[in-house]
Amino acid sequence: MKARNIAIALFAGTFFITSCGMGGQKKSENESKTEETKSAAVQEEVALNSLSEQEKTEGWKLLFNGENFDGWRGYGKESVPGAWSIEENAIKINGSGQGEAGADDGGDIIYDEKFQNFELKFDWKVSKGGNSGIFYLAREIEDLPIWRSAPEYQILDNENHLDAQLGKEGNRQSASLYDLIPAKPQNSKGWGEWNSGSIIVYKGTVIHKQNGEVVLEYHLWTPEWEEMIENSKFKGWTEMINAGGEERMGYIGLQDHGDDVWFRNVKLKVME
C-alpha cells in the first residue's frame, strides 16, 4: 500500500508540475501576442507622413506625403519657391539667415485648398535661434502679405530667438497666438528636437495645442477679438479682424522667416 501511495503521489506531482509548466508557456505565448499587438500599434502610430487606420476612419487627410510638394504653392504664386525643399521626410525652409528681409527665392507657402472648421496636426523643429509660424484662415489678398489676414501659431526657439523676450507675457513664444495670447503652459522642446502641434478651428472657437497639451483658447469674430486686435501691433488691420473673410474659411500657410525650420506629419480633419 505504501509503495502504491508513493507512486500515486509521484504521478500527481508530475502532472501538477507539467500542468503548471504548460500554463506558464501558454501565458508566455499570450504575453508575446500582446506585445506584438502593442508593437504593431506603436509602429503604425509613428509612421511618418502617413495615416493610421483610425485616422482614415475618422476622415483625416494628409497635407504632406513626405516626398514632394503636391498640393502646395507659394503665397501669391503658382509654384513653391526654391528656398523650400524636402529633407528628412519633412518640408524644410532653407533660411537666408537674414530674417524676413533676406529671402532668396523664398517666401511663405500655402496648401492650395481653403478650410473652415477643422483640426490641423503637425510636427515641427527649428534650427538654433529659429523662427517661423503656421497661418490659418489666410486669404490671398493682392499686394498684402499673408500675415495681414491670418492668425499665426508661433514656431520659435524660445531659448535663443529674441522674439521670446518681446511682446507681452510670452505671447511671442512657441504655440502662442503670435503677439496676442501666450501659450501656457510653455512646454516646447529645444532647438533641433521635434515638437507636436495642433490647431482646432470650429465655428470661431480656436484652440492651440503643443506637445499634447491645450495651451490657449480664444474666439474669433467677437467684440473681445476685435478689442484684442485694436490693442495690439495689428491695430487697424481689418483683414485680421475679419480672418477668413465672409466665407469664414481660408488657407493653411507655412512661414519663411529666414531660418531653417522643418515640418512633417501635417494632417487635417474637416469638422462638420
Overall pTM surpassing 0.85 (yes/no): no
> Please, where are the H alpha helices in the chain?
2-46, 53-58, 223-230, 238-241
**What pLDDT, on a 0 to 100 scale, did the predictor assign at position 104?**
78
pLDDT band for position 81 (cuts 50, 70, 90): very high
pLDDT at 18 over 60: no
Using DSSP's 3-state secondary structure scheme, residue 138 falls into strand
**What pLDDT, on a 0 to 100 scale, did the predictor assign at position 102?**
65
pLDDT band for position 45 (cuts 50, 70, 90): low
pLDDT at 180 over 90: yes
- Tell me what the mean pLDDT of segment 95-120 comes to: 89
| Percentage of the chain modeled with pLDDT above 90 | 78
Q: Pairing between strand 213-219 and 90-93?
A: unpaired
Q: Could you tell me which residues come within 8 angstroms of residue 26 by beta carbon, excluding any fewer than 6 positions away?
A: none
Whether the Cβ atoms of residue 183 and residue 210 lie closer than 8 Å to each other: yes
Under CATH, which number does the domain 50-270 receive?
2.60.120.560
Whether the Cβ atoms of residue 206 and residue 199 lie closer than 8 Å to each other: yes
Q: Could you tell me which residues come within 8 angstroms of residue 122 by beta carbon, excluding any fewer than 6 positions away?
A: 134, 196, 197, 198, 263, 264, 265, 266, 267
pLDDT at 24 over 80: no
Mean pLDDT of the chain: 87
pLDDT at 27 over 70: no
pLDDT at 106 over 80: yes
- More confident of the two residues 9 and 31: 31
Q: What are phi and psi of 60, to 5 degrees?
A: -70, 150
